Chain A
Amino acid sequence: MSVLHIAEVTKTFSGGTHAVNSFSLDVADGELVCLLGPSGSGKSTLLRMVGGFEQPTSGRITIDGEDVTHLPPERRPTGMVFQSHALWTHMNVFRNLAFGLKLRRMPAAQIKEKVEAVLELVGLAGYGDRMTNQLSGGQQQRVALARSLVLEPKILLLDEPFASLDQHLRERLREEVRDIQQRLGITTLFVTHGQDEALSMADRIVVMANGKTEQIGRPDVVYRDPKTPFVAGFIGTMNLVEGEVKNGHFARSDFSFPLSIADGPATLAIRPEALDLTVSETPKAKVHRVTDYGSHGLVDLDLADGTRLKSMVAHPDLFRTGQGVDLKPRAVAAYRNNQQIFRS
């Protein structure tokens, strides 16, 4: 039963840049939380602080109530899986997995038993004698995961573990890791810049930008109800239209939409799947390109001033390039000063 508690952690690098700025997060027992953000958002720095590889400038990190803020990595109950797998190439798979157990002075027979069990768990039974460079990329990453799991850490830390793998393998390992994590009930913090990974694996997502939390929530909630324009633009595909609200109407170029908020500038966010198109005699936009994905189609449109929008349609064959269309958003959100001020 392990909980991770991060309280107002700040990391300032020499030069004064805030890599992480007063960040707080609680991870419940057995939960998988994804830190999602673009590079430079501070997500990796945060993970490395939890692992003990960076020292916070201020703030506290506790695991099961025990303050670990100033403990070195070797004395923390955390296990980290690195992006580059970081296996020790001068040891075979068995010795890679046994290294940490040997340091704990476990009897050899017990080490053998545990290593074999964990190899079985990650689907590499019988691979103990292989050298690490004889394994494929996916196998290497599985060994790296096993190397952390065999020590039964209270908190599992994953630092973009699938980044160096190809798409197909990434999707398979994603499912495997999620399965193992749920079976063991291990509390996990996962860093990624891939929204697919975050949406498909996480119990909760923390969207980060510039060292700060933009939004924390369940994947479906973060997707459906992004609280800031950054989250709106970062998760999934989103049309973000900047315009002016006047007398209860949002307007940009020829496109206008009834919006009952105070007058002033606003950013309108519309998902492509929530933007309906109709062929019209009085067009608001022009079709730029139609892409047929089989199951659905994607239509790129230009407003009169050149603003590009995307719409997902069920029947792409109804539209063709150059055609004039009318737009009808089914659901929108509006943002002003980085805050959500309206949602339908």
Chain B
Amino acid sequence: MTSLTLKRARIDWSGIAFAVILTLVIIGPLVVVATWAFTEVWRYPNIIPQKFGFRFWGQTLGRPDVWNALMLSLKLSTVVTLLSALICLPAAYAFARMKFPGRDILFFSFLAGHAFPKFGLLVAIAAIFLQLNLIGTFWGVVLIQLVGTLMFMIWIPVAAFQAVDRRMEEAARDVGASPLRVFLSITLPQAGPTIFAAVLLSFVGTFYETEGAWLIGAPGIRTMPVLMISYINNQMVIQYGAVLSVLLWVPSFIALMFARRVIGGGAFARGFGG
């Protein structure tokens, strides 16, 4: 019994140190930004602001360009995610389950976009878009952001489809299900939670995508993150940028909570292997 209590009393100091450092590094900047968002007066050398308040929230949310950008970002993310799902999910199924010539090369080409420095690729694409009159248009931004979602929307669903036990599908055929019914009743529900996570991740990823939206979209298309960057760069008042970034936490936070509930922490830890 004594040895048991001794064991329980021992504290894992290295674990605690690790947790504290991680907390400081990750939570620290967030706290600073959040504090700024609710600050009205904060002058050097004070450690905490002299005056808290919602003045800048009112001012920021009162601006029509903020609301336009928010609506535009939501619309963009929805369209891009839906298109991406439409293109990528059948492709992922084909990559996971079918054998066809050039399969490996094609699979690799889907991911090759991420093998280069992104900005260089974007500039090259922008030159092409300029010729096609896509610069500064909604669909131009849709196209460029679509490229960014391919990685998530191909790789993760391919893993999800591959993880579905072939015997389960065969057992369903055996009891009388057509191939389509097998896909709808067995394959999709089995791969569903993981695919849902991929869709959620590409929605959030698109919502925050900045370089493509800025390079292709400017000046006509201003998404939330682009607006935030221009506030941070061009405004003397820090609070505008801070308020916007706090606002931008909300969708990703909701998405993450939702994803956790649907697929459980385990799947995150296992890297979506299924």
Contacts and interface: CB of A to CB of B under 8 A. Distances in A.
Interface of A: 51-53, 72-75, 78-80, 82-84, 86-90, 99-100, 103-104, 144, 147-148, 151
A72 B165 contact: no
Nearest to B193: A90
A90 B172 CA distance: 13
Q: Which 10 A-B residue pairings sit nearest by Cβ, starting from the closest? A: A100-B175, A86-B167, A73-B173, A86-B171, A103-B176, A90-B189, A80-B174, A82-B167, A74-B176, A86-B168
Interface residues of B, number: 17
A63 to B, nearest CB: 14
B175 A99 contact: yes
B186 A79 contact: no
A88 B167 CA distance: 10
Contacts, number: 63
A148 B175 CA distance: 7
A88 B174 contact: no
Nearest to B171: A86
B162 interface: no
Contacts of A89: 168, 190
B147 interface: no
Nearest to A78: B174
B72 interface: no
B176 A88 contact: no
20 contacts: A51-B174, A53-B170, A73-B170, A74-B173, A74-B176, A79-B175, A80-B170, A83-B167, A84-B165, A86-B171, A87-B168, A87-B171, A88-B186, A89-B168, A89-B190, A99-B172, A99-B175, A100-B177, A103-B177, A148-B175
Nearest to B170: A53
B176 A84 contact: no
Contacts of B175: 74, 79, 99-100, 103, 147-148, 151
Nearest to A147: B175
A73 B174 contact: yes
B185 A99 contact: yes
Given A53-B170, A53-B173, A147-B175, 6 more contacts: A73-B174, A74-B174, A83-B167, A88-B168, A99-B185, A103-B181
Nearest to B169: A86
B249 to A, nearest CB: 33
Contacts of A73: 170, 173-174
Given A74-B177, A100-B176, A84 B167 contact: yes
A87 B170 CA distance: 11
Contacts of B177: 74, 99-100, 103
Contact of B173 (A72, A84, A90, A144): A72
A104 B176 contact: yes
A79 B173 CA distance: 10
Nearest to A95: B185
A89 B171 CA distance: 12
A343 to B, nearest CB: 43
A51 B189 CA distance: 25
Contacts of A75: 176
A155 to B, nearest CB: 11
Contacts of A151: 175-176
B165 A86 contact: yes
